[in-house]
Amino acid sequence: MTPPVIKAMSDVAVRLTVSPAPHWRSKRTVEKMMMCHLLALVPAMAMAIYMFGIRAASLAGIAGAVAVVTEAVCLKLQNRDINVDNYSALYEGVLFAFLLPAGAPWWLAAIGAVVTIALGRTVFGGFGCNPVCAPLVAWAFCRLSWPQAMDIDFNTAQFAMNYPLDQLKHFGVDSLYQFDYKNLFYGFQLGGIGSSQVAALLVGGIFLIATGWIRIFIPLSFLIGVAGTATLFWGIDPSVYADPLFHILTGSTVFAAFFLAPDVASSPVGKIPQILFGLIAGIMVVIIRVYGIYPDGVPFAIMIANLLTPLLDRVRPKPFGGR
Amino acid sequence: MPMLKIHYSLESDLKKDIVDIPAPDEINIRVSNLVLKTGKGKKIAKGELIAEHPSRFGGAYHAPVSGKVTKVNYHHITIKSDGTDNCVEPVDLSSLETGKELLRTLQGLGVDVAPLSSASRLLIINGLNPEPGISVTEQLLRVELKTIEAGLEMARRFIAPEQTVLAVSAGSPYRLDGAEIKQIKPKYPNSLDALVAKKVTGKEFPEETRIMSVVDLYRIGKIVLSGLPITDTTITVGDTNYHIPLGTPIRHLVEYLGLEVSSGDKVVLGGPFRGEAVYSLSEGVKKADHGLFVVKAGSFPAIEDATCINCGECVLNCPARIQANLISRYAEFEMFDHAVRHGLHSCLECGLCSFNCTARRPLLQYIRFAKTQLMNQGAGEQEQG
Ligand code: SF4
Ligand code: SF4
């Protein structure tokens, strides 16, 4: 039932804009949010180029561009407004590229970007509706389809370094003497092109928190989850299990803390749920690293936590005055 | 033009007195949902009854000027002023005992008497400015203390509270005779009645607690002192407060104050968080309006009916601890029962969810929509039953 619209006293000289309250708004928009997220990736991108050469930039470029085109095509096919200018597709394409090893072939970046958008987002209803962090869906897809192309050690053989997590997996804690934690921190390590730039990612993450684009709850609880669980194992037997700092400085832990786990669509909305989510994801990272077959537990840990999100969001406080 | 500053502060730095705005030639009073008590062509004196409120305790409406009713429609009545001071006789309230008759008299003079209709152990007076950019409350506390105290005395006769508390912004000097002081951080949304009551009592929706605003008391005080009905409101524009006859078209205000309004701008009556954007400069100010804001076109990204991106900002900013993202979606698809189950009625309508929404969804609008629909359904059922 629509009530009759009576435009009493309507005025033609000055046509006012009418809209519902509130009339002031924070200046948050999806575009700005995504732009800031991209900006937050810049230091890591720069470090990646420094580390792995221009190849890192071209992989990110391919993935980003293909993601935008895929998004536009998907929106067009669904007859929706083509709003790729909100940078969300670009951002998630680049996120996917950050997980790739430096030697990954260009087609892998392209396919991954298509999967990120088409399978990661569109089939679930588009940006904001995906239950699982979209770049991780693509990562898992590619990892299962082309295990060799996705393998970090295999694709970075030209570097006189080892992938820390593979070393831990295959040669145990004793092999870790070769890694200087300071170097790990600065990103002088093998890993995904962007996801191994610990210090640079930290700078980006702090920028996002300081500017209010992500809340601190998920990153902090995630890191606490990783550190806490690692400490537990390490305390049990330091000759078998790596120390917590190693877990934080290697693989995509820091990348996940600030960029994958807080992904808006697939993480919970409430404060307590967000903290639980971070903790669970963090704990899972170490458990998978210890018991799983994949050296870096991060992607699967986040995906598992993503699947728990709807459940976690049911943990809500009593409404104001509620019984 | 100065940059618009968004802020949550409820503090006001008041130096000026309240300025009277002279009545315009023509006034437009909104009467939708009121019971009209006058008709087209009638000559009326200032203060004469023009409409009653349909609810049991709602205050009546009176002519703010003397003149002739020239237009009546579903929404408004228009009165053309004759420029004279022809005014109704004051009512002598002092002769009346506290009781039903006095209550009805106050109601007839324009007071919403619901808060006075029964006794309560605790009376809280909300002395915080209601929203950022509105300083009416503190302005009245500063310059109209006598009138407010007269109003408080009258309110106490009905409510007979054991304890009276005046909630003021922390650090402010405002006091009321016979009221304890509770200092509250002057930051929106702390000025909302429900949150003030919680700050004072420590409980959410406490029992045996009545909350009234300084403006309510000021109005009652004015009636007590003058015996005349309420025909004006006090409104903040910029850093100054104005007494202004009810129904004064915004155009008159805009011209009188030299404000700049062009096509595409928003003109908001009330506050920036909860107010109403009018669609015509002929719209008259109403009793509950205490602010006038011109929001220039392009100051803010427009509201969109976009899909939620699940960022959680609405939830994390909600003082009522409810999930505006969910509730608004239920409202959107008319699943009102679900909305209620998720705490619709706890919503304090502060507007912070829409204010912060990254996807720019009209969350508060959906919530208000659900509430009205439910209310109408309820009313419909009562009629049938
Ligand atoms: S208006 Fe929004 S933020 Fe405010 S109480 Fe209601 S749901 Fe919460
Ligand atoms: S703030 Fe807006 S986009 Fe974010 S969760 Fe709430 S409704 Fe969704």
**Which residue among B74, B297, B359 sits closest to A6, beta carbon to beta carbon?**
B74
* Torsional sign, CA B287, B289, B294, B297: negative
User: CA distances (Å), B123 to each of A10, B103, B156, B158, in order?
Assistant: 43, 18, 8, 11
pLDDT band (50, 70, 90) for residue A90: very high
**Is it the case that residue A253 has pLDDT exceeding 80?**
yes
- Sequence-ordered strand ranges (E) for B8-103: 19-20, 26-30, 35-36, 43-44, 49-52, 61-62, 67-72, 76-81
Among residues of chain B, what percentage have pLDDT more than 90? Answer: 81
Average pLDDT over residues B347-360: 94
Contact with chain B for residue A236, Cβ under 8 A? no
User: CA distances (Å), A85 to each of A34, A82, A88, A89, B60, in order?
Assistant: 10, 8, 8, 9, 54
Cβ atoms within 10 Å of B187's Cβ, excluding its own: 16
Terminal CA-CA length for chain B: 57
pLDDT band (50, 70, 90) for residue B113: very high
Backbone angles phi, psi at A107, to 5 degrees: -65, -30
List pLDDT tens digits, range B263-290.
889 999 999 999 999 988 999 999 999 9
What is the position in ligand 2's atom list of the atom closest to the CA of A269?
Answer: 5
**Is it the case that residue A7 has pLDDT exceeding 60?**
no
Distance CA A50, CA B329 (A): 47
Does B371 sit in the ligand 2 pocket, CB within 6 Å?
no
Distance CA B346, CA B205 (A): 10
Backbone angles phi, psi at A84, to 5 degrees: -65, -10
pLDDT score for A6: 52
pLDDT score for B228: 96
Residue B52, beta-bridge partner list: B35
Q: Do B303 and A20 touch (CB under 8 A)?
A: yes
What residue spans of A78-193 are helical by DSSP H? 88-98, 106-118, 134-145, 147-150, 152-155, 164-171, 181-186
Q: Do B295 and A23 touch (CB under 8 A)?
A: yes
Out of B54-63, B115-124, B296-305, least confident range: B296-305
Cβ atoms within 10 Å of B325's Cβ, excluding its own: 23
Distance CA B35, CA A29 (A): 44
Distance CA A31, CA B30 (A): 41
Average pLDDT over residues A23-39: 93
pLDDT band (50, 70, 90) for residue A12: low
Backbone angles phi, psi at A307, to 5 degrees: -70, -25
List pLDDT tens digits, range A178-214.
888 998 998 888 889 999 999 999 999 999 999 999 9
pLDDT score for A11: 60
Q: Would you state the structure tokens that stand for residue B346, as one six-digit string? A: 């706890």
Q: Would you state the structure tokens that stand for residue B288, as one six-digit string? A: 């509950």
pLDDT score for B165: 97
Looking at chain A, which residue has its C-alpha nearest residue B207? Answer: A321
Centre of ligand 1 to C-alpha A35, Å, is 28
Spacing of C-alpha A77 from chain mean position: 27
Distance CA A164, CA A161 (A): 9
Q: Which residue has the higher pLDDT, B291 or B95?
A: B291
Terminal CA-CA length for chain A: 34
Average pLDDT over residues A79-108: 92
Inter-residue contact A66 to A113 (CB < 8 Å): yes
- Residue written as tokens 């937050």? A40
List pLDDT tens digits, range B65-80.
999 999 998 889 999 9
Which residue, B131, B127, B133, is CA-closest to B199? B127
What residue spans of chain B are helical by DSSP H? 100-108, 136-143, 145-159, 193-201, 214-226, 250-257, 313-316, 324-332, 336-341, 352-356, 363-384
pLDDT band (50, 70, 90) for residue B223: very high
Centre of ligand 2 to C-alpha B359, Å, is 6
Contacts of A22 in chain B (CB under 8 A): 272-274, 351-352, 354-355, 364
Nearest chain A Cα distance for residue B260, angstroms: 11
User: CA distances (Å), A232 to each of A49, A225, A283, B317, in order?
Assistant: 36, 11, 10, 35
Which element (helix H / strand E) includes B183?
strand B180-184
Contacts of B247 in chain A (CB under 8 A): none
Among residues of chain A, what percentage have pLDDT more than 70? Answer: 95
Mean pLDDT for chain B overall:
92
Secondary structure of residue B147 in the 3-state scheme? helix
Backbone angles phi, psi at A101, to 5 degrees: -70, 155
User: CA distances (Å), B180 to each of A45, B122, B139, B172, B175, in order?
Assistant: 60, 11, 20, 14, 8
Contacts of B71 in chain A (CB under 8 A): none
Which residue, B318, B339, B256, B288, is CA-closest to B131? B288
DSSP-derived secondary structure letter, B73:
-
Secondary structure of residue B155 in the 3-state scheme? helix
Nearest chain B Cα distance for residue A229, angstroms: 27
Mean pLDDT for chain A overall:
90
- Residue written as tokens 């890191």? A223
Distance CA B367, CA B347 (A): 8
pLDDT score for B384: 44
Residue located nearest, by CA, to atom 4 of ligand 1: B350
List pLDDT tens digits, range A280-319.
999 999 999 999 888 888 999 999 999 999 999 999 889 9
**Is it the case that residue A1 has pLDDT exceeding 50?**
no
**Which residue among B277, B309, B315 sits closest to A265, beta carbon to beta carbon?**
B309
Inter-residue contact B222 to B47 (CB < 8 Å): no
Distance CA A76, CA A78 (A): 5
The one-letter code for the residue type at B40 is: K
pLDDT score for A188: 87
**Is it the case that residue A49 has pLDDT exceeding 50?**
yes
pLDDT score for B1: 35
Residue B27, beta-bridge partner list: B79
pLDDT score for A20: 87
Residue B29, beta-bridge partner list: B77
User: CA distances (Å), B248 to each of A193, B26, B29, B65, B68, in order?
Assistant: 66, 8, 8, 10, 15
Q: Using only the alpha carbons of chain A, give its radius of gyration.
A: 22
pLDDT score for B385: 36
Residue B277, beta-bridge partner list: B268
Which element (helix H / strand E) includes B232?
strand B232-237
Among residues of chain A, what percentage have pLDDT more than 90? Answer: 67
pLDDT band (50, 70, 90) for residue B378: confident
Inter-residue contact B191 to B10 (CB < 8 Å): yes
- Residue written as tokens 């807080």? A262
pLDDT score for B381: 55
Q: Do B354 and A23 touch (CB under 8 A)?
A: no
Between A217-236 and A271-291, two packed helices, what is the crossing angle to 10 degrees?
40
Which residue, B60, B311, B131, B280, is CA-closest to A268? B311
pLDDT score for A19: 85
Distance CA A68, CA A208 (A): 23
Say what the pTM is: 0.90
Cβ atoms within 10 Å of B336's Cβ, excluding its own: 18
Question: ipTM, 2 decimals?
Answer: 0.89
Distance CA A127, CA A125 (A): 7
Distance CA B293, CA B275 (A): 9
Among the bound ligands, the one closest to the CA of B360: 2
Cβ atoms within 10 Å of B43's Cβ, excluding its own: 12
pLDDT score for B2: 42
Centre of ligand 1 to C-alpha B353, Å, is 5
